[in-house]
Structure 1
Amino acid sequence: MFKRIFVIVLDSVGIGAMPDAPEYGDDGANTLVHIAELKGGLNLPTLAGMGLGSIEPIAGVQVVSRPTAAFGKMTELSKGKDTTSGHWELACCPVFTSFPVYPDGFPPEIVEKFKFYSGHSILGNKAASGTEIIAELGEQHMLTGQPIVYTSADSVFQIAAHEEVIPLERLYELCKIAREKVCIDEHAVGRIIARPFIGKPGSFTRTANRHDYSLEPPAATVLDVLKQAGFAVIGIGKIADIYANRGLTQSYPTKSNKHGMEVITDLAEQSLPDGLIMANLVDFDSAYGHRNDAAGYARALEEFDTALAVFKSKLSANDLLIITADHGCDPTRPGTDHTREYVPILVYHQGLAQRHRTVNLGVRSTFADMGATVAANFNLQPLAYGQSFLKDLLR
């Protein structure tokens, strides 16, 4: 049994369109491959050594004869392509009913309920890019004090406000009102998101004080089961938000990918109790995928690869590392939406690397295989979804 399992979720780093991608308008999407092609090749020596190039040919990523990690890709069983459904399925709780989306803005009953409970009129009420809508409506917001309410292709109710106009605590309060009193029943969106910003008209900047208010998973997750069994469950980045603060024993909010890797590397050096340490690196998605910034995405991947080498050097023989993703967000495609893609999975431990044995995990039928493997490692009862690949790692 591994004493500690580290999971790093590379938010939106998909690796090819799933068979049902055309149903989502995502035929041909491939986040990693298309970024590499546009960049003229990615420099990812750490990930290459672990076997990333053996999952799918990626420009610049060497295919090594003896990867140091098990490699494969996973299929999303859930109906969706968002952060919430992806993470819940990783934790053995797939979602079979799509969360509501509002491509034409929220209906009058939602707007009126928000106005009634919050005491605010609103600006916006449409699907939009977060940076574009604050550029469009930020000045009017500052003049009127009205929050900017908007959505996207995802199931989200987002509230943007200047930190000097609506203080953070009030913005968070507005989000709680939306979560508890407005977006309920058939309008229960996956996440309510606080989107604070600063600056002056023409130079607004979103801050790192974002906060997500997720629905609770409809069934037990592997995080819940681990915590109930007395194991540590540590969330880094958005993990606490995504799981509605459920199933965690500790949480470390982060401000960037870099900060997330610093936190998880620091934790790896500490004497932690047995359990799961799970990080979400959101910049890939929020800063680059949704902004159609393939060059920035490529740079972020290469920066992660460098940080990963340092992190791996801190792991002990009793540690297991799993690297995966929650969905795609191909920045080379028209639009700024998530994309329905397979996600890569790389699984590393020192014993596997020392045996020089190739372990191809193949194409897994659900993201939940990851959570099932975590549960099997800690000798927990299997959850309803997922097949453990722990034995493949230990042969």
Structure 2
Amino acid sequence: MKRVFLIVLDSVGMGEMPDAAEYGDAGSNTILAVSKSPYFSMPNMKKLGYFNIDGMAVNDKEEHPTAAFARMTESSKGKDTTIGHWEIAGIISKAPLPTYPNGFPKEILEEFSKQTGRGVLCNKPYSGTEVIKDYGDEHRRTGDLIVYTSADSVFQIAAHEEVVPVEQLYEYCKIARKILTGEHGVGRVIARPFIGESGNYTRTSNRHDFSLEPPAVTMLDQMKEAGLDVLAVGKINDIFAGKGITEFVRTTGNEDGINKTLEYMERDFEGICFVNLVDYDMLYGHRNDVDGYAKALTYFDERLPEILEKMRDEDILMITADHGCDPSTPSTDHSREYTPLILYGQPVKAGTNYGTRDTFADIAATILDYFSIVPKCAGKKLEES
């Protein structure tokens, strides 16, 4: 019974790509920046060969790696979560999703207000924690929705759970999702509920993403069509708008995501368990918290033996990322970086270096090949040169 566990360490990039300067990301290297923290320790990932990957700036090579490895290049135009995950699943995006550095057009917001019956506050790029601090009181007083964006292709709606119940906020997000199509087809509409009193607002774990449907066939679609299980942990189901997913669970953070992955590992299924661990990006990268980021990676490394112990003879573990988010640079946005790939399991030849790949989509092609499915998406399976 073949199983693949594909874990995305969200935003854990490994150095600037050649076109990084075009994205304002020259010099970015997420893993290098985080490795300088005194809280950084990844001995178990080191044993796998994580620091043996081509171009890895962290000088901590393993003499006899127990896994295979590669450096992945993003072929798509962009550096956001949606495009990164879509490419991992076999879609190369020729154009970036729309972003709104000056806020959303008047006609979009007027239609949104008309359909929700509520006004709009903010409408500009903003930190998620700062926006509720600056607009939370007015929102509670007026009932108007806090709408903001970032450097990513996102339309975010923040609302206090006592003013707008969570399910109602989700309905407003669905309205926005239907409005934001065509040229304004943002990657994600995101519900950002919060609680608390003036001066002490905090976001809750009831975040929910409403994504565009992938525009082409993905690895997940093909596996589902072949009658295989496609299990999604964390925000994977949201990123793919449920397309190609047979079962999903949401998570409250990395610890919960790891625990739910371990629960799936105890189950009998044939197919893929696709996992996103979001805390690196959401809690630490965007907040330029180097030490917090380091502690989160150290925690994953400490839990890694539990994952390895539960693997069966035909299981393959893949660990990768979807972009960078260097917490040491002035920017709080994602960064255009190469990503690492680790492959571990009995079917994998330990120590194999697959070099630098042309696209994240080689992950999709490799997984499909393992299940003897001819890919209808982008990418080439990993082979020794």
Q: TM-score range by the shorter chain?
A: over 0.9
Out of 127, 135, 138, the residue aligned to residue 137 of structure 1 is 135
Which stretches in structure 2 are left out of the alignment for 5+ residues? none
Q: Tell me the alpha carbon deviations over residues 254-297 of structure 1, each in whole angstroms, 9 at most, x when there is no partner.
A: 000000000001111222x2100000001110000011111100
Give me the CA root mean square deviation.
1.4
The structural deviation recorded for 1:62 is 3.0
- Equivalent pair of 1:128/1:150 in contact (CA under 8 Å): yes
The structural deviation recorded for 1:323 is 0.2
Which letter maps to 2:149? Answer: T
SS in 1 for 2:255: helix
Which residue in 2 is equivalent to 1:128? Answer: 126
Out of 44, 57, 61, the residue aligned to residue 46 of structure 1 is 44
SS in 2 for 1:270: coil
Q: What TM-score, normalized to structure 2?
A: 0.97
- Equivalent pair of 2:261/2:275 in contact (CA under 8 Å): yes
Out of 310, 318, 321, the residue aligned to residue 322 of structure 1 is 318
Out of 370, 380, 383, the residue aligned to residue 387 of structure 1 is 380
Out of 272, 278, 281, the residue aligned to residue 274 of structure 2 is 278
Q: How does 1:129-278 map to 2 (within 5 A)?
A: 129-180=127-178, 182-271=179-268, 273-278=269-274
The structural deviation recorded for 1:328 is 0.4
Q: How does 1:290-369 map to 2 (within 5 A)?
A: 290-350=286-346, 352=348, 357-369=350-362
- Equivalent pair of 1:41/1:58 in contact (CA under 8 Å): no
Measure, in 2, the Cα distance between the counterparts of 1:52 and 1:223.
Answer: 26
Measure, in 1, the Cα distance between the counterparts of 2:376 and 2:79.
Answer: 22
Which letter maps to 2:300? Answer: F
Q: Tell me the alpha carbon deviations over residues 139-197 of structure 1, each in whole angstroms, 9 at most, x when there is no partner.
A: 111111111000000000000001111000110000000001x2121111010000011
The structural deviation recorded for 1:335 is 2.1
Which letter maps to 2:250? Answer: P
Which residue in 2 is equivalent to 1:6? Answer: 5
Which letter maps to 2:288? Answer: N
Measure, in 2, the Cα distance between the counterparts of 1:41 and 1:57.
Answer: 19
Measure, in 2, the Cα distance between the counterparts of 1:54 and 1:381.
Answer: 31
Out of 76, 80, 90, the residue aligned to residue 92 of structure 1 is 90
Which letter maps to 2:84? Answer: G
SS in 1 for 2:169: helix
Measure, in 2, the Cα distance between the counterparts of 1:3 and 1:199.
Answer: 47
Which letter maps to 1:26? Answer: D
Which letter maps to 2:237? Answer: A
Q: What TM-score, normalized to structure 1?
A: 0.95
SS in 2 for 1:350: coil
SS in 2 for 1:298: helix
Which stretches in structure 1 are left out of the alignment for 5+ residues? none
Which letter maps to 1:8? Answer: I
- Equivalent pair of 1:18/1:342 in contact (CA under 8 Å): yes
Which letter maps to 1:258? Answer: E
Aligned length: 384
Q: Tell me the alpha carbon deviations over residues 106-129 of structure 1, each in whole angstroms, 9 at most, x when there is no partner.
A: 111111111111111111101001
Measure, in 2, the Cα distance between the counterparts of 1:57 and 1:127.
Answer: 32
Which letter maps to 2:221? Answer: D
- Equivalent pair of 2:8/2:277 in contact (CA under 8 Å): yes
Measure, in 1, the Cα distance between the counterparts of 2:33 and 2:331.
Answer: 15
Measure, in 2, the Cα distance between the counterparts of 1:48 and 1:309.
Answer: 12
Q: Which deviates more from structure 2 when the two are superposed, residues 164-173 or residues 357-366? A: 357-366
Q: How does 1:367-378 map to 2 (within 5 A)?
A: 367-378=360-371
Measure, in 2, the Cα distance between the counterparts of 1:149 and 1:138.
Answer: 12
Q: Tell me the alpha carbon deviations over residues 5-46 of structure 1, each in whole angstroms, 9 at most, x when there is no partner.
A: 000000000000000001000011000001112x14731011
- Equivalent pair of 2:314/2:347 in contact (CA under 8 Å): no
- Equivalent pair of 2:39/2:295 in contact (CA under 8 Å): no
Measure, in 2, the Cα distance between the counterparts of 1:141 and 1:83.
Answer: 28
Which residue in 2 is equivalent to 1:17? Answer: 16
Which letter maps to 1:116? Answer: K
Measure, in 2, the Cα distance between the counterparts of 1:250 and 1:335.
Answer: 36
SS in 1 for 2:200: coil
- Equivalent pair of 1:36/1:58 in contact (CA under 8 Å): no
Measure, in 2, the Cα distance between the counterparts of 1:69 and 1:229.
Answer: 28
- Equivalent pair of 1:236/1:252 in contact (CA under 8 Å): yes
- Equivalent pair of 1:160/1:195 in contact (CA under 8 Å): yes
Which letter maps to 2:370? Answer: N
Which letter maps to 1:359? Answer: T
